[in-house]
Structure 1
Amino acid sequence: MMKNYIFKQLLVCLALCSFSVGAQVVTYCIPTADGNDDTGITRVIFADLNNNAGGTSEAYTDFTSLIANVTAGNSYALSVNANTLGYYTDFVTAWIDWNNNHVFETGEAYDLGSATDVVDEPTSLSPLSIQIPSNTPPGQYRMRVRLRWDALPTPCDSDGYSEAEDYTLNVQAVTWNGTAWSNGTGPDAALPVVITSDYAGASFAAYSITLNAARTLTITDGNSVTVGSVTNNGSIVVEDGGNFLQTASGTYSGTGTFAANRNSASVANKYAFWSSPVAAANIYAVFPGFTPQYAMTYNTATDYYTVVPNPTATTAGFGYSVKIPATAPNLTFSGTPNNGSISKTLTLAGGNYNLVGNPYPSNLDLAAFYAANTANIASTLWFWDNTSNSVTTQSGSTTVNVGYATYNAAGSTWVSAPTSMTPSGNSAKIGQGFIVEALTNTLSFTNSMRVADAGVSVNKNVVADDGKYWLKLTTPYSTHFSQAVTYGQGASNAYDAYDSESIATGSDAFYSLAGPEKLVIQGRESFNVNDVVQLGNKHFETGTFTIALTLKEGLFANGQAVYLKDKLLGTETNLQNGSYTFASNAGDFTNRFEIVYKQSLLGTASAADKNDLKVYRSGNDFIIDSPEMLRSVEVYDASGRLVQALKLDAVQAAVTLTTEGVYVLKIKTDSATATKKIIK
């Protein structure tokens, strides 16, 4: 009795206990059997594993020294042969401990069917295709195969007549060897990757990356690497125009180095807004060759730029204004790449303007950035474009709008800086700084805002809208000013998030009006052909100016007319067919021009007026000759202000003007009204 008692206690321990074998602690359960014979597993085939067990009377056999090499994401056939010892039915199940928690769980079981009256033949469901989970980290995993007579086996319990065998699965990552990917096709977002040789090829996505020591991963211009976690024991280099994206839960570790290179080409003695894609880089080391007093941050409260001391460690999401010599080499941001959720404190003071920047070594989706911060910032973002102006001193908002490109993040619409090209796409590149208007003290950045696509055309990938168009005013001194009008996207005709003002207004400007607000981007509700958009134009000097339609999308790209109505001259010009040139005095005018989308019935002169009504200069007077009786003449200056009015009953009249400028004569005869432009 004592022997039987001891034997039963041993069986319980074998099934439930851990024990040591040398220095290794065995933590998997060891199955037992109430009885045994030569019923059992005779062969196991999986991937490159082929074990002829031959059948055994043992309840459990440890074959973990035998290894099946597999690759995450691929499928392999598992086949098990059995010996039933006559007309009996045996059932077979396999388990693979994918999470390596030393427990064979229900979700890790694979049913291989049954076998009846066979000797060394496959079970009914052999071979069974098993896919290695795509995101399985490289490493070794335990596989258990168990056969039981007359019932489904369990992984650990004492199961009647049964046999269990354990094997090792070695899950291999997709590997780059310098010539090709080990799986023949390359990685995807669900596969781990090991880079064992230098790589500078095409874009790819991976579940994780392990970069071996002394190896370099180079992300070249136009390419990207999108990955979760990274173990970097070599060197990662992101060239100008490349993108290194980590997903929401990704981590970064290892003993290697990371560098993001940016082209610092600039015009001599001009500033640019920068932000660091790596943690705590010394700004004085990043920008070699520049004059120290020209590395600055923006002070919201004072509206001035403040020189930063040496050394100054960059802060994620913080913007810097740096004057870089034209001969400066490319910039290199070296350190640990910024990743994950980043929070920046904003200042509420003065105009609430804050200089911030893209904190990541990848492009930042501006629409996604704004969508996550609608309660924190206004919808307008400003980007300093130093190619379009001669400004060499940063003076806060007093710099006026001679160098800022404007982006409305609610409507994904750009307006260029004066005398510059309209920017493309909806993302801020690596290292890009920009200005926001704070509503609260907090600004957030997350990995979900990171993108590799810089965009190939103006606002191509935006929320569906009715259409949008851009107008450009060209001055006689060869500068130009742009504005945009958009329809749909949820905008209203009142001032709202879809509207953007310039950060400041200079001596010349071109804008539309929403109430008292002067806008460079105006979002309107869904398109209505009866809509009217009021325009404003400001000029430093008297001269001849031109308004043109430059870009168009949606219904405007499909031919919808855009009429510029000159209320002073009583003309309507379809800008789809060409530009409009006009004369104007210096000043700020808000009531001369408007945009309409269908022609109105304007009063026009008769044929006699058009052909025979004459206006000519005689000394200081302008003489009007008419083939029929003149009834009145009104004289307007370029701002639309009535400066003279004559009541007449004659066929000739003289208008005397003492001040130089552009004037419009509104001449009424018995049959019609005509307008004539004159310049004194």
Structure 2
Amino acid sequence: MKHIVLVLSVLTFCLNTYSQDLYVGNNTELYALDVPVFVTNDIRLESPTSNFYLRGDAQLLQDANIKNSDEGEISVYQNQTTNVYEYNFWCSPVGVSDNTSNQNVDFNGTNIHDPDDDTDVSNVTSVPYGYTTSYEGTATELSNYWIYSLRDGKGYYSWKQEFDTGNIKTGYGFTLKGSPNTDNVLDFRGRPNNGTILVSCRFYGVDDQPSGIPNSAQTLTGNPYPSALDLKLFFAQSVTNQAILLNEIYFWEQKPKNSHFLADYEGGYGVYTPGDLADFTDNGTYTFAPFENYNGDGTTNGTTTGNTTDFSGNNQRRFAAVGQGFIIASDPIGIGGDAEFTNAMRVYFKEDSTPGGNGSIFAKNSKKTGKNTQTKNYPMSHNGVDYKKIIDNPTIIPEIRIHTHVNNAFYKENVIAFREGTPNNNTYNKGFDGSNVNTLSSDAYLISEDKNLSIKSINYSESTRLKFGFKTNQDNTLFSVTVNQLNNIPNDVDVYMFDNETNTYTNIKDGSFNTVLNKGVYNDRFEITFAKNTLNTTEETFSNFKIYQNNTQAQVVINNPNSLKLKEIILFDVSGKRVLFETINSSNNTLSFSTKNLSTGVYVAKVTTDNDAAKTQKIVINNQK
């Protein structure tokens, strides 16, 4: 006789279902609907007929680092993409159950089931999904051809084909393309993952691939638990993750194109950064990406129309729903190591995958995106974090979202976040700043310490100046830059694009800056500023300071009578291309630099002080050969 235990749904914030230890005996079913189930220690699912069903918004959280046991299974649903051509990035919350005790177990294709009726919350009947070796899945079969993993990868050639029979270790992610079913629900059945989970993200040897993040390893991982995951805590609760990883998360999204050929793919990676790790009410910053085309080696081959989904309005995409996969990357200044997931990062948070919603997110092209109701959705956890305060009174991070329209084809977003805890406006700050991970053939990005960024945090000051770069692979590329959104920015804050070549400021808060650039990289010509004439660029700062060309000696000369500490000098030609760069780091009254290798013509010289004050001057070089 089968025993059925029900955990009933109650619509109150304070409801929790607690268990010191959870034992599900032979021929017993445990059923939870729309409630969090908290288990202090481990779960024992005695036999193949010992089953635990999580339905609706039910999720499972555990406290102690004790792994689960035995041959029974939990069952938890997640929707995948409704298209046979598009990838989802997954991380399984379960592994293949066996008769072992107190350990997490590997995942493979047998863990994925097809529910008999996913619209019936009382349904507990599913059958194992079948697999086809063809490129396209069917209503009853998934294509195993597209199941890939990425571990310690350097680029496109590091992806490993797993099929449905390859065992994927706990915590590692996998790719899977969707099916033609309208609302394609996958039923993950197996032993629930629990406790500390280690995932390798190590950089070995030389970066010998053209794609990927330079000198960094990338690993596809994700939320490995049958509950939501707080991505801020993935860094804030782990000094190991802070040290070995770029403190960023990358989310893949793909545009429907009805093709399996890489050259036809259009996709991109949204970037999440956690912000100030000491402030749990700072949700972090999320920026979406433009869709881009790809070459056969995984490098980009240009861009297309459209962008990935902007989830910044949903808690900056801080909370990952059950099954959500994502990419992590090792910090290029080291070799990486084992990233860790712990129970302290787990949270009960109902899924709401709408861009402006309030919940955990699993991105997919599907009619089902989680509930978006008028009832306020609060996360709950045993980790001591005050999530009610986070939802009701989050730290307000003012944002300037800058959109660059490239050749009237697509928009590239860059975000300037006003964070009072930012260590230094003039340096790259890990966790506060986000990499420009989508390297486009024609691109626009913020720059700090020669790092190209999509997100830059600053402690706002009117005198702050931020480098803004452009790159294009063809002549006559039109860039149009404007402020798309001002989120909680005071009305008196202005935003300008400064052109060092023309010495002009353009208001991009109320208008747009337009420029046509020829093939090349322009990393030293343009800046985002918040005033036309800041204290850093007043005549008082550069009183009696002179930059001129001595054509007799073929030298550009600096007269520095006030002994300002100078950092660098850059020369641009009339097209804006950098033709000379010299590090100075000196307070000498007179400095000179050779220009004998430059052609006769008009140039713009820019000298920068150690506090980023800048002086520009047109010079005429006349080198007679």
- Does residue 312 of the first structure (1) align with residue 166 of the second (2)? yes
Structure 1 runs (4+) deviating above 6 angstroms are 209-213, 231-234, 388-391, 457-463
Cα shift at 1:388: 8.1
* Larger RCO (alpha carbons 8 Å, 6+ apart): 2
After superposition, give the CA deviation of every residue in 1:127-147 in whole Å (9 maximum; x if it has no partner).
Answer: xxxxxxxxxxxxxxxxxxxxx
TM-score by length of 2: 0.57
- 1:428 aligned partner, one-letter code: A
Distance 1:532 1:354 in 2: 35
Between structures 1 and 2, the one with greater strand share: 1
Question: Structure 1 441/576 Cα, relative in aligned 2: closer, same or farther at 3 Å?
Answer: same
Question: Could you tell me which residue of structure 2 aligns to residue 378 of structure 1?
Answer: 246
Question: Could you tell me which residue of structure 2 aligns to residue 300 of structure 1?
Answer: 152
What is the SS of the residue equivalent to 2:235?
Answer: helix
- Does residue 245 of the first structure (1) align with residue 61 of the second (2)? yes
Distance 2:438 2:329 in 1: 13
What is the SS of the residue equivalent to 2:191?
Answer: coil
Cα shift at 1:535: 0.4
Which residue of 333, 337, 341 maps to 2:192? 337
Which residue of 269, 278, 288 maps to 1:416? 288
Which residue of 469, 474, 496 maps to 2:429? 496
After superposition, give the CA deviation of every residue in 1:188-235 in whole Å (9 maximum; x if it has no partner).
Answer: xxxxxx984463554731331677966552444xx6444435677864
Query: 269-278 or 349-358: which moved more?
Result: 349-358
Which residue of 231, 243, 261 maps to 2:77? 261
Cα shift at 1:474: 1.8
Cα shift at 1:436: 1.5
In the alignment, is the contact (CA less than 8 A) between 1:274 and 1:432 conserved in 2?
yes
Gaps of 5+ in 1: 1-193, 604-634, 643-680
Which residue of 324, 331, 342 maps to 1:432? 324
In the alignment, is the contact (CA less than 8 A) between 2:249 and 2:271 conserved in 1?
yes
In the alignment, is the contact (CA less than 8 A) between 2:267 and 2:308 conserved in 1?
no
In the alignment, is the contact (CA less than 8 A) between 1:275 and 1:356 conserved in 2?
yes
- Does residue 550 of the first structure (1) align with residue 364 of the second (2)? no
In the alignment, is the contact (CA less than 8 A) between 1:295 and 1:307 conserved in 2?
yes
In the alignment, is the contact (CA less than 8 A) between 1:388 and 1:402 conserved in 2?
no
- 1:199 aligned partner, one-letter code: L
In the alignment, is the contact (CA less than 8 A) between 2:80 and 2:88 conserved in 1?
no
Question: Structure 1 247/347 Cα, relative in aligned 2: closer, same or farther at 3 Å?
Answer: same
After superposition, give the CA deviation of every residue in 1:9-38 in whole Å (9 maximum; x if it has no partner).
Answer: xxxxxxxxxxxxxxxxxxxxxxxxxxxxxx
Question: Structure 1 301/247 Cα, relative in aligned 2: closer, same or farther at 3 Å?
Answer: closer
Distance 1:477 1:266 in 2: 30
Question: Could you tell me which residue of structure 2 aligns to residue 322 of structure 1?
Answer: 176
Distance 1:407 1:270 in 2: 22
Which residue of 143, 150, 156 maps to 1:291? 143
Question: Structure 1 578/246 Cα, relative in aligned 2: closer, same or farther at 3 Å?
Answer: farther
In the alignment, is the contact (CA less than 8 A) between 1:381 and 1:435 conserved in 2?
yes
What is the SS of the residue equivalent to 2:172?
Answer: coil
Distance 1:557 1:478 in 2: 31
- 2:161 aligned partner, one-letter code: V
Cα shift at 1:449: 0.1
Question: Could you tell me which residue of structure 1 aligns to residue 400 of structure 2?
Answer: 469
Which residue of 89, 112, 124 maps to 1:273? 89
Alignment of 1:600-611 (within 5 A): 600=533
What is the SS of the residue equivalent to 2:255?
Answer: helix
- Does residue 205 of the first structure (1) align with residue 16 of the second (2)? yes
Question: Could you tell me which residue of structure 2 aligns to residue 520 of structure 1?
Answer: 454
Question: Could you tell me which residue of structure 1 aligns to residue 40 of structure 2?
Answer: 228
Question: Structure 1 559/272 Cα, relative in aligned 2: closer, same or farther at 3 Å?
Answer: farther
In the alignment, is the contact (CA less than 8 A) between 1:470 and 1:482 conserved in 2?
yes
- 2:328 aligned partner, one-letter code: V
Which residue of 531, 545, 560 maps to 2:493? 560
Distance 2:258 2:445 in 1: 22
Alignment of 1:45-56 (within 5 A): none
Cα shift at 1:445: 1.0
- 1:572 aligned partner, one-letter code: Y
Query: 254-263 or 367-376: which moved more?
Result: 254-263
After superposition, give the CA deviation of every residue in 1:340-390 in whole Å (9 maximum; x if it has no partner).
Answer: 222233333243222222110112111111121212322122221123889
Q: Percent identity?
A: 22
Cα shift at 1:317: 0.8
Question: Could you tell me which residue of structure 2 aligns to residue 449 of structure 1?
Answer: 345
Distance 2:339 2:36 in 1: 26
- 1:345 aligned partner, one-letter code: S
What is the SS of the residue equivalent to 1:534?
Answer: strand
Alignment of 1:34-53 (within 5 A): none
Question: Structure 1 407/290 Cα, relative in aligned 2: closer, same or farther at 3 Å?
Answer: same
Question: Structure 1 477/578 Cα, relative in aligned 2: closer, same or farther at 3 Å?
Answer: closer
Question: Structure 1 433/255 Cα, relative in aligned 2: closer, same or farther at 3 Å?
Answer: closer
How many correspondences in the alignment? 413
Alignment of 1:618-637 (within 5 A): none
- 2:251 aligned partner, one-letter code: F
Distance 2:258 2:396 in 1: 36
Alignment of 1:45-194 (within 5 A): none
Q: Between Structure 1 and Structure 2, whose CA radius of gyration is higher?
A: 1
In the alignment, is the contact (CA less than 8 A) between 2:86 and 2:256 conserved in 1?
no
In the alignment, is the contact (CA less than 8 A) between 1:473 and 1:547 conserved in 2?
yes
Cα shift at 1:570: 5.0
Question: Structure 1 448/584 Cα, relative in aligned 2: closer, same or farther at 3 Å?
Answer: same
Alignment of 1:392-411 (within 5 A): 392=260, 402-411=267-276
Cα shift at 1:594: 1.6
Question: Structure 1 240/569 Cα, relative in aligned 2: closer, same or farther at 3 Å?
Answer: farther
TM-score by length of 1: 0.53
Gaps of 5+ in 2: 96-105, 113-128, 131-140, 208-215, 277-283, 291-306, 361-389, 539-571, 580-625
Question: Could you tell me which residue of structure 2 aligns to residue 117 of structure 1?
Answer: none
